[in-house]
Amino acid sequence: MFCFNADIELIDLGNGVKRKVLAHDGNMMAVEVHFETGAIGAMHHHPHEQLTYVLSGEFEFTIGDETKIVRAGDTLYKKPNIEHGCVCKQAGVLLDMFTPQRLDFL
């Protein structure tokens, strides 16, 4: 499957967060998440495994009981059902990969 970024709608989720659902199928999904400075990715959890790669910007991420600053090139792993969220310190973009895919995003 080919997925061309220019052909995918950037969906405004409100409060400085936008999302593009990229390539996906039953076992895997890639999602681009765009944050304005100060935007918050509210604490939440889900049954999916998730990898997050920081494409740009700076974020304060909390995963479970640990909080760290991450920047472009850093990667985060979130096991299923762990509480996680972030605050965007400098506008940026995250690439989230889920397994299985997030049906709630479709």
pLDDT in the model for residue 1: 80
Query: How far out from the chain centre does Cα 9 lie?
Result: 16
pLDDT in the model for residue 26: 86
pLDDT in the model for residue 7: 97
pLDDT in the model for residue 69: 98
Domains of the chain: 16-105 (2.60.120.10)
Beta-bridge partners for 93: 34, 56
pTM score: 0.95
SS3 96: strand
Residue segments in the chain with a per-residue pLDDT below the cut of 50: none
